[in-house]
Amino acid sequence: MNSLNPGRKEAAMSLSEQSMQFLEEHISELAQSAVTQACWQALAAGNSVLQSDNGAIYEVFPDGTRTLVKTVTPPTAVTPGETRVLR
């Protein structure tokens, strides 16, 4: 039994190796889709969201207006699969 889902068999939750590889290869696309959906849901609920754009952070309101919150260093372009070392 699964401690998080009592009564549900462990075998029903396991993924095949092929399914796991597919999900790993597409995780960035899945994450982007989830973030976009959450943003639209927040705006539809009448809340504001924060978005970054070319070295600036904006608060975006449901009516489409944007207010500059802060300037930051521009993002660093990274090629998928590239390894970066933080110092």
Is residue 11 situated within a structural domain?
no
Share of the chain above pLDDT 90, in %: 46
Residue 8 clears pLDDT 80, i.e. is over it? no
User: Would you state the pLDDT for residue 2?
Assistant: 47
Is residue 85 situated within a structural domain?
no
Is residue 63 situated within a structural domain?
yes
Is residue 53 situated within a structural domain?
yes
Alpha carbon distance 51, 47 (integer Å):
13
Is residue 57 situated within a structural domain?
yes
Residue carrying structure tokens 């943003």: 39
Predicted confidence (pLDDT) per residue in 69-86, tens digit: 999 988 888 887 888 888
Alpha carbon distance 65, 4 (integer Å):
42
> For residue 40, what are its two tokens?
């639209």
Is residue 67 situated within a structural domain?
yes
Domain extent, residue 24, equals 17-71
Is residue 64 situated within a structural domain?
yes
Is residue 3 situated within a structural domain?
no
Bridge partners (DSSP) listed for residue 71:
56
> pTM of the entire structure?
0.62
Please tell me the least confidently modeled range out of 1-5, 36-40, 83-87. Answer: 1-5
Element (H, E) at 69: strand 66-71
> Which residue stretches of 1-87 are H helix?
10-13, 17-25, 27-44
**Domains in the chain, number:** 1
Q: Averaged over 32-48, what is the pLDDT?
A: 97
